[in-house]
Every structure is written in C-alpha cells, then in structure tokens.
C-alpha cells in the first residue's frame, strides 16, 4: 500500500459534528465478522438507508469521522443479531480486494476499535470498569487513572533478493503450495531493521544486508501495522525453522509459485522487486 493515502477521502474524528441524520456508513460487527450487503453479484458496506428505518440494536457504537462527507460509525452487535434481508456476515479478510481500498482500510480500523473496546471494558491495573474519553480514542480508569488506547502491533515484512531471485517461504498456516515473503513482529528494544535481520535469520537461517524501506500497510488481523522492506542476500544457506516456516527457496522472477496479489503489501513487495529489474 506504498503511496496510498486514505486521508484524501476520509476525515477522522471521535465526536460527531452534527446530529445522526441522513445516510451514514455503518461498519457492523458481531464477535468475528462484518456485516455486508449483497448488490447483484457484488458486496459492499451497508449504509443507514439500507436498514429502511429499522432500529439497529447494538452493544457498542463509536463515531469514526467522515468518508466523502458521510458520517461513519463502527458498531458491535450480539451474535444473535439477525441481518436484514440482502445482508450477511462475512470474514473481514475475505473482503480484501473485493471492496474499495479506502473502505477496506476503514473497515479494518473499525474492526480494531471494536476489539479494543471488548478487551478494555475493565482496568488491567485494578479491575474497575473503564470509561470512554470524549476528546480522544481512549478509555480511562476512574479509580486508578490508568489509560488504555487501541493497541498497534508493528511487524516487518521483507522481500529478500539475490540477483534475479526472490526468497519465498511457505508458512504452516498458509494454504497448500502458497508462498510469500518473510514477516514477523517487532520485539522490545529492536529497530525495524534489527527485526528484519532477526526474523530472516530465525525463520530461514540466512543473513541480509542493504535493508531499504518500502512502505507500510495497516493489517487488522488482529492489530498489526506491516512495515515493508527490501533486503539483499548476504550469506548463509536456507535452513527453515520448522515451526512457523515449513519450506523456503529462491525463485526466479519469471517462475514464481502461487503468491499474494497486489491487494496486500506482500504482493506489492514481490511485484516491486520484479519490476525494478
């Protein structure tokens, strides 16, 4: 998602600037999935007018700001909620590449906020019920004063290049015969570049050099920020860790296995290193 800017269309906010009247984007979640509306053969995020005046019973609602002038809300409903006719719940990840990119990013933001609310109803310090703040996206404990913000977990994702070859690996959680670049979470005390070196060494046993920043992508599964890099092979032979990575190899640019599309930063990284040669 290098070069993409959601703020060309979206203005974030916490407090609504006007009353809830007219059309609104509604990002509605149950415990696992997001509500979508089926239009002919396409899926889209519903708006308030799609409910035809039917009252939406919810357990949590948070204003997100405006997308192209229309107010946006993320909403949590009970798993027993019965979707209106023409709507259904879908796994958010399955919508990647199926809906507008800005809408997907905002849906991901909504997903993280809903999960943050569920996980921070009580103070982790003293157990008191937390209170939502009006001036920022935060919860505060009225008893001990602890504040809780939505969690963001930074992770690196790296395309390792050797001449006209790219290193691709099969994670045990991938579907069969599907390969991608190396990724992993940043640990305390690390820079992003340190994390690249460690993750590549841990997962496939080689060393890299000339690490260059590529771009970033929010990845709400569950709360990551993927920070992309391109690195050059330095030394060592491939030796997979056998825990996360089951197989890895060097692949010529003209002979790649099934791998991510450009709807994800992994696919963009792969495409970038191929096109620059």
How many domains does the chain fold into? 3
| Mean pLDDT, rounded, of the chain | 93
| 211 contacts 229 by C-beta, under 8 angstroms | yes
Q: Are residues 91 and 131 in the same domain?
A: no
Domain residues for 11?
Answer: 6-119
Q: Give a yes or no: residue 28 inside a domain.
A: yes
Q: Are residues 134 and 215 in the same domain?
A: no
Q: Which residues pair with 73 in a beta bridge?
A: 26, 63
| 257 contacts 177 by C-beta, under 8 angstroms | yes
| Per-residue pLDDT tens over the stretch 4-58 | 678 889 999 998 877 667 789 999 999 999 999 988 778 999 999 999 888 889 9
| DSSP conformational letter for 87 | E
Q: Are residues 167 and 238 in the same domain?
A: yes
Q: Are residues 197 and 263 in the same domain?
A: yes
Q: Give a yes or no: residue 24 inside a domain.
A: yes
| 119 contacts 71 by C-beta, under 8 angstroms | no
Q: Give a yes or no: residue 1 inside a domain.
A: no
Q: Are residues 129 and 96 in the same domain?
A: no
Model's pTM, two decimal places?
Answer: 0.90
Q: Are residues 43 and 104 in the same domain?
A: yes
> Token pair 């959601």 is at which residue?
6
CATH number (domain holding residue 85)? 3.90.79
Q: How far, in Å, CA of 265 to CA of 277, rounded?
A: 19
Q: How far, in Å, CA of 172 to CA of 260, rounded?
A: 16
Q: Are residues 110 and 126 in the same domain?
A: no
- For 189, list phi and psi in degrees, rounded to 5: 85, 0
By CB neighbour count within 10 A (0-12 exposed, 13-18 middle, 19+ buried), where does 158 fall?
A: buried
């Amino acid at each position: 998602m290098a070069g993409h800017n959601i703020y060309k269309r979206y203005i974030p906010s916490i407090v609504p600037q006007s009353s809830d009247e007219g059309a609104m984007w509604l990002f509605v979640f149950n415990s696992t999935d997001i509500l979508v509306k089926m239009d002919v053969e396409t899926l889209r995020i519903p708006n308030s007018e799609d409910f035809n005046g039917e009252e939406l019973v919810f357990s949590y609602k948070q204003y997100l700001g405006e997308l192209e002038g229309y107010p946006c809300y993320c909403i949590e409903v009970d798993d027993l909620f019965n979707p209106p006719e023409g709507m259904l719940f879908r796994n958010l990840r399955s919508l990647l590449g199926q809906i507008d990119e800005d809408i997907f990013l905002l849906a991901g933001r909504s997903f993280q906020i809903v999960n943050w609310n569920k996980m921070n109803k009580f103070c982790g310090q003293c157990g008191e019920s937390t209170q939502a703040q009006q001036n920022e996206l935060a919860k505060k404990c009225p008893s001990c004063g602890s504040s809780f913000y939505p969690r963001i977990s930074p992770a690196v994702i790296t395309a390792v290049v050797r001449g006209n070859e790219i290193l691709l690996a099969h994670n045990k959680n991938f579907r069969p015969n599907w390969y991608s670049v190396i990724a992993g979470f940043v640990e305390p005390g690390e820079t992003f570049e340190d994390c690249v070196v460690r993750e590549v060494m841990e997962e496939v046993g080689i060393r890299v050099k000339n690490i260059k920043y590529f771009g970033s992508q929010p990845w709400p599964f569950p709360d990551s920020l993927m920070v992309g890099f391109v690195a050059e092979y330095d030394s060592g032979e491939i030796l997979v860790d056998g825990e996360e990575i089951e197989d890895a190899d060097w692949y010529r640019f003209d002979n790649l296995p099934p791998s991510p599309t450009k709807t994800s930063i992994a696919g963009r990284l792969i495409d970038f290193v191929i096109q620059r040669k």
